[in-house]
Amino acid sequence: MSDRHTLITAAKSALGAGNLAAAESALRRVLQTDPADGDGLMLLGIVAARAGKPEPAIMLFEQVIARYGEQPSILANLAAALHSAGRHADAIARARQALHLLPAMIEALNTLGNALADAGQAAEGAAVLARAVALRPDHPELWNSRGSALGIAGRIPAAVAALRHALTLQPGHGNALSSLGRYARQIADWRDDAEIDAALAAAIARGEAAIDPLVAVARRADPAEHAACAAAWAGARYPSAASRPAPVARDRLTIGYLSSDLHLHATALLAARVFELHDRGRFRIRAYSAGPDDGSAMRRRLVAAFDGFTEIGDRGDREAAEIIRADGVDILVDLKGHTRGSRFGILAHRPAPLQVAWLGFPGTCGAPYVDYVIGDPTVTPMAHQRWFAERIVQLPDSYQPNDDLRAIDSDLPGRAALGLPEQGVVFAAFNEAFKISPAMFTCWMRLLDRVPGSVLWLLDGPARRNLQAQADAQGIDPARLVFGGFLPPARHLARYARADLLLDTTPYAGHTTMSDALWAGCPAVTVEGAAFASRVAAGLLRAVGLPELIASDLEGYEALALALANDPERRAGLRRHLVEGGSRLPLFDSARFTRHLEAAYATMWQTLAAGKPPEGFAVAAG
């Protein structure tokens, strides 16, 4: 038996055992003898891909194709690596090539379906994956992929069914468990909610890298779990050996904002005014947009707000990082973190001397190459530093920006026009159903029971029927749940005039929902939990001078909501405080916020320029 054969066999055995280092060592020896060895290049590409290094894998697979021609297995592996690198269009093209040669190739169908879903063609991706599961109905990964694509396409009940089937085939499938944790809550399918929570906690405790950090912060209350989950996720998907670029002295700092939400989206509604107000004498502001152009007025406003607006949605992570580096970005601010549409892989390439997490994700990103997280004294107390891979920066009022130009429709709709009763307390709960736990909903049903004639006003969506059934099961007439449809932003804000009290959720509190209500003058109650995600609403209430509306636990929250429901004069006083305060309240003073944010950027840069490592600090109010 030749040395080559022995080494290739050893590499395959090591790969099968998950020992990537041993596999790589054997393959390097093969390639020392013959740098063009097809098996050696192919297997080394697989090692790189499994190690979370898609760009080297892409280069290796392309070498094999250049030397030995297009073969289905090589094309399928290349497509998977391209997908991992964020090059979805290229992944789709290569997967289709593989399927042209071998139409029933499961691996290529799986990559094609996933890449289509991530490229904004989720319905087509789900259809591709339907073909795949028809060919291999016993394949849990295909059912998991189909569930994810169906979820992205908005077919939530079908997504939940597919994910449950994946877990029937493979009970420990972490990705399926994670997605089920998201989508089952999204339709209020709580039949095994406690079991899902327990399984998520166990998976995080084992250090599994398959649990989506956003699912963890939405369902789990412990910041230590959130930190462990994010570190495992980032370490497996976005490893980095890139070094920090050297800072360059400049007259103006260049701030780059990276997001896929630079259109009509909650993030844009919050931050647009800040982009406009940045001091151009001190800062050059650039946008890197990985999302769609929705043709909205907000999109046009955002494009005009930046000094440069670069579309990177069709660029891979490495190429996008090179663009950012070539633009001379000094501080790259990621507005997504671990949320859908994130391009976190770009950060792993270290395109900027400083990299900052802000606004999009309520917790640590868990990656050593993100230097700072922007928070405030409520969401990121300095005592919480042990749960953050980044150094904490505290803005003095709130980490959340707001737009003091946001319009509220002056044509206020009447109660009847909104489907509300003319009399009785209207409790509004406008957070998405994903944030509603069974315990939270039970608390709301107790409030309805204790406040005769009251109703619960929710946003309409796929959870409607299950929420109605849950109300009925708890002895509450489902007709007391009123569902409001989607409205344009100014119209949505106007309807808060018909709500008496906003009810927040825990452990994932309202963010934009809470500031919307406060800007529109609607009082709200929240629970201040232990983690960032459960403290946002509390911070917003403090920033409008209403700390008395913050409870420390669900029991106190219920008592506070009940007291306010029975005290219309107090509610009226709270509403006057909010309406009369307006943009003079710290939360809604856009210019004040922008000054504080710019002071944070300046301090970060001064620390780096002095040769010091990133260190936490608080920005002084001014």
pLDDT digits (tens, 9 = 90+) for 121-156: 999 999 999 999 999 999 999 999 999 999 999 999
pLDDT in tens, 245-259: 999 998 999 999 999
> Are 502 and 584 contained in the same domain?
yes
**Between 176 and 10, the higher pLDDT residue:** 176
Q: Report, as an integer, the average pLDDT of 192-211.
A: 97
Give the tokens for residue 69.
């021609």
Q: Using the 3D structure, point to which of 185, 206, 241 is the last residue of a domain.
A: 241
> Are 268 and 298 contained in the same domain?
yes
pLDDT band at 275 (very low <50, low <70, confident <90, very high): very high
What is the bridge-based pairing of β-strands 617-618 and 391-394? parallel
Say which CATH number the domain at 268 has.
3.40.50.11380
Query: Residue 301: how many CB atoms within 10 A of its CB?
Result: 17
Q: Report, as an integer, the average pLDDT of 288-311.
A: 97
- Domains of the chain: total: 3
pLDDT, mean over the chain: 96
pLDDT band at 30 (very low <50, low <70, confident <90, very high): confident
Proportion of the chain above pLDDT 90, given as a percent: 92
pLDDT band at 1 (very low <50, low <70, confident <90, very high): very low
Return the minimum-mean-pLDDT range out of 14-28, 161-175, 295-309, 384-398.
14-28
Residue 288 lies in a domain: yes
pLDDT in tens, 463-492: 999 999 999 999 999 999 999 999 999 999
Distance of CA 14 to the CA centre of its chain: 35
Residue 413's pLDDT is what?
85
Residue 604 lies in a domain: yes
> Are 523 and 389 contained in the same domain?
no
Residue 367 lies in a domain: yes
Residue 147 lies in a domain: no
pTM: 0.95
Residue 337's pLDDT is what?
98
pLDDT band at 317 (very low <50, low <70, confident <90, very high): very high
Proportion of the chain above pLDDT 70, given as a percent: 100
What is the bridge-based pairing of β-strands 455-459 and 501-503? unpaired
Is the pLDDT score of 2 beyond 80?
A: no
Q: CB of 270 within 8 A of CB of 515? A: yes
Q: Report, as an integer, the average pLDDT of 173-179.
A: 98
Return the SS3 of 113: helix
Distance of CA 424 to the CA centre of its chain: 37
Q: Using the 3D structure, point to which of 241, 264, 286 is the last residue of a domain.
A: 241
> Are 485 and 394 contained in the same domain?
no
> Are 451 and 563 contained in the same domain?
yes
Residue 291 lies in a domain: yes
> Are 372 and 267 contained in the same domain?
yes
Say which CATH number the domain at 476 has.
3.40.50.2000
- What burial class does residue 33 get, using C-beta atoms within 10 Å of its C-beta: 0-12 exposed, 13-18 middle, 19+ buried? exposed
> Are 422 and 571 contained in the same domain?
yes
Is the pLDDT score of 462 beyond 60?
A: yes
Residue 391's pLDDT is what?
98
Q: Which of 3-7, 18-22, 330-334 has the highest mean pLDDT?
A: 330-334
Q: What span, in angstroms and rounded, lies between the C-alpha atoms of 16 and 183? A: 32
Q: CB of 239 within 8 A of CB of 348? A: yes
Residue 485's pLDDT is what?
94
> Are 356 and 257 contained in the same domain?
yes
Residue 218 lies in a domain: yes
> Are 337 and 317 contained in the same domain?
yes
pLDDT in tens, 417-431: 999 999 999 999 999
> Are 583 and 434 contained in the same domain?
yes
CA dihedral (339, 345, 351, 354) positive or negative: positive
> Are 276 and 336 contained in the same domain?
yes
Count, residues in the chain: 622
> Are 260 and 325 contained in the same domain?
yes
Residue 155 lies in a domain: no
pLDDT band at 11 (very low <50, low <70, confident <90, very high): confident
Containing structural domain, residue 222: 172-241
Q: Report, as an integer, the average pLDDT of 298-308.
A: 98
Residue 357 lies in a domain: yes
